[in-house]
Chains A and B, each alone.
Chain A
Amino acid sequence: MPKVVIDGIEIEVPPGTTILNAAQRVGVEIPVFCYHPYLKPAGICRMCLVEVEGMPRLLPACITEVQDGWEIYTNSDRVKDAREWLLEFVLVNHPLECPICDEAGECELQNFVFKFGEPRKRLYDEPFKYPTRYLGPLIVHQMNRCVLCRRCVRFSDEAMGGTDWGVYERGYRTIVGPYERDVFAQKYTFNMEALCPVGAITSNIYRYKTRIWKLDFTNSVCAHCEVGCWLDLGERDGQLLKVLHRRGYPSPWICDKGGYGFEYVNHSERITVPLRREGNRLRGVTTDEALEFVAGRLKGLVESGGKVAALVSPHLTCEDYLLMGSFMKEVVGSDYLDYRLYGGNTYPERPAVDSLEGVEKAEAYLVVGEDLSVHHPVLALSVAKGCKEGRASLYLIVTGDSFLFKFAAEHANPLPGKEEKVLEALASVLGGKDYASLLEGTEVSEDTLKAMAQGLQEKKPLIIGGSRLTPEGRVLLKGVGERLGITPLFLDWGSNSKGAFQMGFWSPGGESVEDILNKCVSGEIKGLFVSSMDLFRDYPNGTLVKEALSNLDFLVVHDMFFTETVAYSDCYLPATSFAEDGGTVVNMFWEAKKRNRAFKPKDESMPLWQVALGLSRKWGRPLGDFGTVEDVTPLVRERLSQVVEAPSTLGGVKAAHLKGDIPALFEYPFYRAGMRTDFCNAFVQLVPEPYVTLNPEYGDELGFKNGDIVIMEVDGNQFRMKLFFRDEVPRGGAIVSRGFSDFPITRALKGLWYRGIELRAAKE
């Protein structure tokens, strides 16, 4: 192992260690701009130059590997001189507007100037006068402040496989940024803002809100999906103003839902007091009165022989599921409870890998039935990584994938509803059986499938089954896995499906949400408790939801906003946001993590576990003596260690959904997926209304133009929407967006996310 001396400190490091990493080990700070531990070395900013005894030129510490016997000086006169010049170069045209710069306080330029700069100025030039670019609701780009470290560009290239964000012009006139777009929002934009060492890319959401040193940061976990990224929530005066991702877990990167999807927490329309229905009005009441009212009504229903059910969002904590489950099962005596409110009828399964590093190690991937970049965005980055670096091959059977296709060796892009047919064909190829007939009507070619089968046999793949798979689809995928000797990794909706399942928040009889709603319609279930989800927005059968809710004797909704579901309710209980509740969540790898509360619940808002506890007390059968969430956690831990058997769900969903001209997939746009995104203003601005997309060629064939207004007709229901052309849509099919609480798009659906639709031009 090479032995080196850094500023007089001797250290032995593994071969291949850079000077910078060696210095970090002995606690010597070397300033850097372009270096970033998770980006490929660039060596361009030259901020990290150090002197090595006997070398004629200074060497960039970030890219130079140490050699045995080197004496390295990070603070010699030559180094200091070079640093001062570099800082002077960087500052000569810098606008020096720190007092109005949101980066101030965490600005690496500011910090380095304080630490390594000299209060002398030798060079004079005009400050840069580039226009500020407001690139849509997420980020602002101010070229004037840019130090051209290119971290943003390198992230865009290395992690995202290239976007419209590049380097243009040259020399002193070099600029970075988007070339064509006026709006830059690319699912992972947050990382570019976070990587920017200065205030050149800043958050538009946070713009001029406060100063970084006035925020209190709390470690927490993102509540949008089950990747479960660690976030640092920055609070000031009970407002969540900024999210950082300081601890790099489980990945150095997060997605924009995690980074910017928190505005709902401070939303002005949030209702933070309980409401009770009085005729056509909902009247504000005290929490005590509300709980009393709810417990009383539920008790009444049960005593009169009616059933009560609970449908709860898969974005809550294990503590919530545990206590609410106990309340429902033990106190109310209900057999009907579920968390799978996005639809679908599968339960979580134990995965084959236990970390994103494990995912990144695979040599090949087979992804079926989900646009990972929408519902497990950071997982998509991990899959992309090895493919981008040429280490791994990616095979996709995904309708309308919008990100990973860039990295795919083979992409089967079946017509909506045909993913599992193609999967069946793949199983047949691998089994040496005839498969041609299975591909009929899928728009996937035999060549694609053959190449895919061959590739999968050459390198051991990691198999990922998406949230769209039906129980039958999962069986098929497991069959493929068995042939290749691999257990698939199955994904679920929401951010804590695994926790909800493990806490037993499901019907012991194996009923699906659809079954429960049908029982509401039939009158068997008379009372319903809904928490933290607008069924009209997310459950893929708006008509059924409407019938069910209309037919109830009593509906109580625990939420943060006045949603369509709340409109049907008899009582509204204010819910906390993920920043206020705290508790345990289980990520996609079945790891339990602690979500910390960043500040106390707003007004009367309560987490679900507290509601359950309150109701049980009012019922007269208190669940226990729990003061804080931490009191519930030990019970959760215990449950997590138990083995839970899922009921069989095969044969549950029968789909004759695709009648109609055009098979369509109803899918969330990225900025609409996740929890309460329609109360995140920036996201609403990005995707204000639903739209339908067609492949350009197919759109042409049908006589439409990009941007047309069309009427989509399903079962006689008409929806007026914009039509866009997108290359990722398979020819002959359509993709319709969903995830809008103010647009009844789920009325077009019948329990699955596929549907045959008719399209025609709207008459003006």
Chain B
Amino acid sequence: MRHIRCHVLIGVDANSLLAGAKAVEQALIKELADKGLADEVQVIETGSLGPIGQGVILVVYPDAVAYANVTVDDVPEIVTEHLLKGRPVKRLQVPLAPEERVVEIKPTGLVKKPQPRVVLQNCGVIDPESLEEAIAAGDYQALVKVIEEGMSPKDVMEEVTKSGLRGRGGAGFPTGKKWSFTAPGPQKYLICNADEGEPGTFKDRLILEGDPHRLIESMILAGYAIGATKGYIYIRGEYTLSIARISKAIEQAYRENLLGDNILDSGITFHLEIKKGAGAYVCGEETALIESIEGKRGQPRLKPPFPAVQGLWGKPTVVNNVETLSNIPPIILNGADWYRSFGTPTCPGTKVYTILGHIETPGLIEVEMGTTLRDIIFEYGGGIRKGKKFKGALVGGAAGAFLNESQLDVQMDYDSLKEYAAVLGSGAILVMDEETSVVSLLHSILSFFEHESCGQCTPCRMGTRSLLTIMERIVRGQGTEKDLDLLLQVSENMQVSSLCPLGQSPILPIKSALDYFRDEFLERVSGKWTEPPLQAHEEASQVG
């Protein structure tokens, strides 16, 4: 008889797969069988356990012991020492975050400080390929609540509006309000934006990989609220694991009538389909995304008409980010007031970040809105790697802005950042130590824009190109101080003239880089500058 006394969670995401997670998992299963433990210890594949860059991570319950950088060779030791004899393997052990608020905070973060896990509640806890575990962990409870309590679409929309949830796709537009704009009509669409093209961002991927049923549930609820019976998940084509997991989850949901016609006999109908993107950054922009789903060239449409009025196939459409949507079930389940107990009055809730760069524990974290940048970097991220000094951070991806040391205490939320001409953007925080070259980083950002401009409108098509040619001059030490002004002028013109936000964005990194790190640029154009040290180049290219 199987009597499970112990669970081993193995974090399987794109990063750990590269580090050999599958091999470790198989070795573990084999070793357990060899030692006769197969009926006592269960191995569970779960989503990301938080950090990246720490190889394969295992967490053993109920002992709450975490191991990082596990290889196949370590497996026999873990099985014999820990699982058989009950003695944790110290040399592989890493600290596990303590619990914080009981209901919504789970003890799986491998970072120093406890996190309020609203969105990532089940990520790294459940087996994302198991519907049973998802349900046991609370997925679909909000849906059941809506059905059982007879909540109308209007009730759902009102709850979301009251919660103050704002779009996590970058612009922070109030979600309830966006939903309420949809024009009435018999056919509407809901699209989940999982294109996640912003460099350095992978939060949506990890949410999808960790708890796909949460997203499905959220889309049913959102679809119900706006009156859409059909949804699409537009997912970045490179996200093969996410695609596999969400596909499997959709299959399971259809099988159990959690998707399809007359869901759970409630009269609610919702169908869900996956569309894969082909690797264009601009296809994350909602109207380009819609064009792409329609099978056309991915380029932004003119607004108005807004998608809420004329979107996919000309029908009213709502496009929401993965993270935005994943906030919906807890809001419905626990109520708007509960939700507002997190974050700030104007930006309630939590925010999922991917922190990376020269930091001790790069990876995925979820913290309250309004947490300071300092806390994020030094408390949650473990501070600067190798004891070096903090130089600055690029917040929000390529379309974000640089912040420097004097701004470390900025509260990270939509409104506070605005005062610094910065944005929350995609939730990517790229931390730079004192040795980083902002010039090289900006160069890499500008080549990104040049490469990703859709080419539709003149200022962006030619402006991104001009910015790059100017920047190339500067990087090579052949620029002049006038070139720095030119960067500003061109990007300013792009900001007023471009058709979509892509062309309007380069001003952000350019202006902030020049404002806060001007000396570095001046040195580069002084005429005395010589070949860059190789290292700076290498690091910059990791970002783009």
A: residues with CB less than 8 A from B are 33, 41-47, 49, 57-58, 63, 78, 81-82, 85-86, 89-90, 92-93, 122-125, 147-148, 167, 169-174
Contact = CB atoms under 8 A, between A and B. Distances in A.
Contact of B459 (A42, A85, A124, A147): A85
Contacts of B489: 85, 122
B469 A82 contact: no
B497 interface: yes
A63 B301 CA distance: 12
Rank and list the top 4 A-B pairs by shortest CB-CB distance, nearest first. Answer: A174-B455, A89-B462, A171-B453, A172-B465
Interface in B53-74: none
A171 B451 contact: yes
B302 A172 contact: no
B212 interface: no
Contact of A82 (B450, B464, B497): B497
B450 A171 contact: yes
A167 B466 CA distance: 21
B280 interface: yes
Given A86-B497, A147-B458, 20 more contacts: A42-B302, A44-B456, A46-B459, A46-B499, A47-B458, A78-B496, A82-B496, A89-B462, A90-B462, A92-B462, A122-B486, A123-B469, A123-B490, A125-B469, A148-B458, A167-B455, A170-B280, A170-B454, A174-B455, A174-B461
Contacts of A45: 457-458
8 contacts: A33-B458, A82-B497, A92-B466, A122-B486, A148-B461, A170-B454, A171-B451, A173-B455
A85 B490 contact: yes
A44 B458 contact: yes
B463 A89 contact: yes
Interface of B: prevailing SS: helix
Nearest to B504: A57
A33 B458 CA distance: 10
Interface in B431-480: 450-459, 461-466, 469-470
Given A172-B450, A172-B453, A81 B493 contact: yes
B497 A123 contact: no
Interface residues of B, number: 31
A169 B453 CA distance: 10
B498 interface: yes
Contacts of B465: 92, 125, 171-172
B145 interface: no
Contact of A86 (B297, B452, B458, B469): B458
B297 A167 contact: yes
B302 A41 contact: yes
A639 B484 CA distance: 77
B143 to A, nearest CB: 37
Given A44-B457, A174-B461, A49 B451 contact: no
A123 B496 CA distance: 19
Nearest to A147: B458
Contacts of B280: 170
Given A57-B496, A89-B462, A124-B469, A171 B457 contact: no
Contacts of B462: 89-90, 92-93, 172
Contacts of B466: 89, 92, 123, 125
Contacts of B454: 170-171
A169 B463 CA distance: 17
B458 A43 contact: no
A78 B469 CA distance: 25
B173 to A, nearest CB: 17
B499 A58 contact: no
A148 B486 CA distance: 24
B461 A171 contact: yes
Contacts of B464: 171-172
Contacts of A173: 455
Nearest to B300: A44
A122 B466 CA distance: 10
Contacts of B490: 85, 123
Contacts of A123: 466, 469-470, 486, 490
A170 B455 contact: yes
Contacts of B456: 44, 174
A42 B300 CA distance: 11
Contact of A58 (B282, B302, B469, B496): B496
A611 B541 CA distance: 82
A43 B302 contact: yes
Contacts of B495: 57
Interface string B155-174: 00000000000000000000
A92 B466 CA distance: 9
Given A171-B451, A171-B454, A174-B455, A82 B493 contact: yes
Nearest to B493: A85
Nearest to B467: A123
Interface in B19-72: none
A82 B464 CA distance: 15
B298 to A, nearest CB: 9
Contact of B458 (A58, A89, A167): A89
A33 B457 CA distance: 11
Contacts of A122: 486, 489
B459 A86 contact: yes
A748 B302 CA distance: 56
Nearest to A57: B496
Contact of A43 (B453, B493, B499): B499
A418 B296 CA distance: 39
A447 B523 CA distance: 78
| Listed residue (B453, B458, B469, B495) with the most chain A CB atoms within 10 angstroms of its CB | B458
Nearest to B495: A57
A215 to B, nearest CB: 31
B498 A46 contact: yes
B471 to A, nearest CB: 13
A24 B56 CA distance: 67
Interface string B475-514: 0000000000010011001011111000000000000000
A90 B498 CA distance: 14
Contacts of B497: 46, 49, 58, 82, 85-86
A89 B490 CA distance: 10
A533 B495 CA distance: 63
Nearest to A56: B496
Given A46-B499, A85-B490, A172 B459 contact: no
Nearest to A45: B458
Contacts of B451: 171
Given A43-B499, A125-B465, A63 B455 contact: no
A460 B318 CA distance: 37
Contacts of B297: 167
A45 B498 CA distance: 9
Given A171-B450, A172-B450, A89 B486 contact: no
Contacts of A46: 457-459, 497-499
Nearest to B456: A44
Nearest to A173: B455
B482 to A, nearest CB: 9
A247 to B, nearest CB: 30
A86 B461 CA distance: 11
B205 to A, nearest CB: 24
Given A89-B463, A89-B466, A92-B462, A172 B496 contact: no
Interface in B158-210: none
Contact of A172 (B282, B455, B470, B499): B455
Given A82-B493, A171-B465, A172-B464, A90 B450 contact: no
A152 to B, nearest CB: 15
Contacts of A167: 297, 455
Nearest to B457: A44
Contacts of A125: 465-466, 469
A147 B495 CA distance: 20
A170 B498 CA distance: 15
B2 to A, nearest CB: 56
A172 B461 contact: yes
A605 to B, nearest CB: 50
A82 B489 CA distance: 10
